[in-house]
Amino acid sequence: MFYITPLMVIPLVIFNIVAFIWGHDVWSTELLGLTMLSGQRWAFSLEDLMVLVGVVCLFFEILKSTGSTTRIITNHIFSTIIFIVYLIEFLVVGYAAHSVFFLLMILALFDVVAGFTITIKTASRDVTYSRGEGTPPAI
């Protein structure tokens, strides 16, 4: 089940839950703030956390796409559907018209493109072209 489910659905669900419950302006909420040795203040906000979750999910999706089994190809099809959901929601739903959602949508696009590309490259390396013994040459 892990290989079939696209992980980019996790940031989509989290974004929708948070935006639906707390609204559109919640993303700039500071979660952590530190004063660095330079004297500058570093703030880690909820939008930074969402993008980080998306990048981590993309990393594991790319790791999953290094094979060419039926489960992985099914995952790529579902990843394409997830990207289409991101795109439609970005264009139609008001609270999704946010830079955080846009970045998550771009990560979902990278998931689709990288997944298909890596799977095709891996599958082409797995194919061997050789004649067995006693096989007549092809005409």
In a domain, 82, yes or no: yes
Does 129 score more than 90 pLDDT? no
In a domain, 54, yes or no: yes
| Average pLDDT value for residue range 17-31 | 87
The whole domain housing 57 covers 42-124
In a domain, 16, yes or no: no
| Average pLDDT value for residue range 67-91 | 89
Average pLDDT, the chain: 86
Q: Total structural domains in the chain?
A: 1
In a domain, 6, yes or no: no
In a domain, 131, yes or no: no
**Sequential DSSP letters for 23-44:** -GGGGG-EEEEEE-TTS-EEEE
Bigger pLDDT: 119 vs 103:
103
In a domain, 23, yes or no: no
Does 64 score more than 90 pLDDT? no
What's the predicted TM-score (pTM) here?
Answer: 0.81
Does 127 score more than 60 pLDDT? no
Which pLDDT score, from 0 to 100, does residue 43 have?
Answer: 92
